[in-house]
């Protein structure tokens, strides 16, 4: 398979979502997976990147330019990630392509696998970021 194609306008957190706000360290688009760099700024998560960029913190809720505030979802029982055609129970993980998400079946050797959530219907997931913490053999 391939990374999910996100429509930024369709990324939506529910009213009960847990969110954080930080400063963008790069240009960010809604729906991208984020990690915090050593300066405390948000960068794009990368499953086969170096620490700390392989440590996902959340999913961007809007676009931002470097140096501007960025709000991101950390957990949400009814999160709309901006892509569809999901089947209930599908596992979504962070990709080796910076900022992207992909199906669990795409994980490969060397990735620091982080489960982002599970599909609860065709367009929503239960967002709960669970890092494995070690590279996949």
Domain extents in the chain: 8-135
Segment 96-107 shows an average pLDDT of: 96
Tell whether the torsion through CA atoms of 40, 37, 72 and 117 is positive or negative.
negative
Closest CA to 83 of 17, 4, 2, 13: 4
Residue-level pLDDT at 136 = 85
Residue-level pLDDT at 24 = 98
Q: How far apart are CA 97 and CA 7, in angstroms?
A: 17
8 A C-beta contact, residue 19 and residue 74: yes
8 A C-beta contact, residue 13 and residue 89: no
Q: What HEC string does the chain produce?
A: CCCCCCCHHHEECCCCCEEEEEEECCCECCCCEEEECCCCEEEECCCCCCCCCCCEEEEECCCECCCCEEEEEEEEEEEEECCCCCCCCCEEEECCCCCCEEEHHHCCCCCEEEEEEEECCCCCEEEEEEEEEEECC
Domain 8-135 indexed as CATH 2.60.40:
no
Residue-level pLDDT at 41 = 98
State if pTM tops 0.75: yes
What the block records as the tokens of 6 is 């996100």
Segment 63-92 shows an average pLDDT of: 97
Segment 1-12 shows an average pLDDT of: 94
Mean pLDDT taken over the chain: 96
């Amino acid at each position: 398979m391939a990374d999910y194609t996100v429509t930024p306008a369709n990324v939506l957190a529910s009213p009960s979502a847990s969110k954080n706000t930080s400063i963008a360290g790069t240009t960010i688009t809604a729906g991208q997976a984020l990690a915090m760099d050593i300066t405390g700024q948000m960068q794009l998560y990368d499953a086969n990147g170096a620490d700390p960029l392989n440590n996902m913190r959340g999913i961007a809720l809007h676009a931002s330019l470097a140096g501007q505030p960025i709000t991101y979802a950390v957990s949400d029982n009814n999160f709309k990630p901006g892509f569809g055609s999901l089947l209930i129970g599908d596992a979504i993980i962070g990709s080796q392509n910076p900022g992207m998400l992909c199906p669990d079946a795409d994980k490969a050797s060397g990735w620091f696998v982080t489960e982002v959530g599970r599909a609860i219907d065709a367009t929503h997931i239960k967002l709960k970021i669970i890092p494995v913490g070690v590279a996949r053999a």
